[in-house]
Amino acid sequence: MSDYLNDRTGTPDPEVQRLESALRPHRWRKRPSPVPALAIATIAMAAAASVLLAVAWGLSGPSEPGGWSSVTAACTGCTWEIGDTLDTTEGAKARIADRGSVVAAQGAVLTRLDSDTGARFRLERGTIDVEVDAPPEWLVIETPGVEVVDLGCAYTLTVDEQGKGGIIVRSGAVALVGDTRTEVLAGSAAATWDSGYTGLPVRVDAPVELVRAVDAWDSGASDDVMPLCQAAGPEDLTTLFHLLGRLERDELRAKVVDSLLELVPGEAPVDRDALIAGDESEMDELHGLLIGLW
């Protein structure tokens, strides 16, 4: 999958190209800068007009062979083929095409799967550490019950023997997709269950009261939203947003919406009543607002 939308690299997306072509005539056209009439060096203007940010893709560290090479107890530099499970008797490390790498802890069961659109693995159990620089959704990791959809990031993913898991995201973002959906942003963690339930995201340095409240909610030990609302601060908006997405009763939604809106800086351009009613487009507005604050 190309990253044409983000930085115009890779294979152009035809629909993006079509829109670019239709809209190009409406691009800003250079006019003299609005300053009082003074001599302006045309050479300086031409030089400034030609300055663009150059984006260079690369991975840190010395260059390594590309492709899908792996380092395991059995072999260094062997290709990790589709259908192969990494030998992790002493841990393992593998390249993910030229997009990143995965480090598997000893005993992890990690298999490379076929994919039409990028890369796909299955983590049956164990812990892996992933670092990928790729377009959103290029990398998908299946676990029992839940898919982990990479949105361009670095994270640690664990699945235990019972199929329960957790993810800690260090940079970028990840979407956990099961019966529910959780977007986990950098600096946050979330739990997963083999039933397909994806836990609420919570900051790794959130107050312990919030972490406990999230645990109690996710495990079903409590259906009281107030401990979450009371413990959440301005940096915990995505926790409350995901909670809101799981509530059906208006009185519970109202409590969470009011807590959220109190914590959002400034005046949020969203309709409180529409959010309580679960209006999809209003939820989209709020979602976009929160990503913008990230």
Please tell me whether residue 201 binds another protein under the rule CB under 8 A: no
Please tell me whether residue 37 binds another protein under the rule CB under 8 A: no
Please tell me whether residue 64 binds another protein under the rule CB under 8 A: no
CB of 272 to another protein, least distance (A): 16
Please tell me whether residue 167 binds another protein under the rule CB under 8 A: no
**Comparison of 30 and 249: residue with beta carbon closer to another protein:** 30
Nearest to 289 by CA among 266, 273, 258, 256: 266
Please tell me whether residue 135 binds another protein under the rule CB under 8 A: yes
**Comparison of 86 and 151: residue with beta carbon closer to another protein:** 151
Please tell me whether residue 28 binds another protein under the rule CB under 8 A: yes
Q: Residue 92 pairs with which residues in a beta bridge?
A: 104
Distance CA 44, CA 206 (A): 50
Please tell me whether residue 249 binds another protein under the rule CB under 8 A: no
Read off the amino acid at residue 119.
A
Near another protein by CB under 8 A, which window of 53-61, 70-78, 217-225, 230-238?
A: 53-61
Distance CA 266, CA 293 (A): 12
Distance CA 114, CA 119 (A): 7
Q: Which helix (H) or strand (E) holds 172?
A: none
Q: Rounded to 10 degrees, what is the CA torsion of 257, 259, 261, 262?
A: 160
CB of 3 to another protein, least distance (A): 8
Distance CA 67, CA 196 (A): 32
Which of 62, 83, 265, 292 contacts another protein by CB under 8 A? Answer: 292
Structure tokens of 206?
A: 């959130």
Q: Which helix (H) or strand (E) holds 227?
A: helix 226-231
Please tell me whether residue 133 binds another protein under the rule CB under 8 A: yes
Binding site for another protein (CB under 8 A): 5-8, 15-16, 19-20, 22-31, 33-35, 38, 40-41, 44-45, 48-49, 51-60, 133, 135-137, 151-153, 171-173, 186, 269, 281, 284-285, 287-289, 291-292, 294
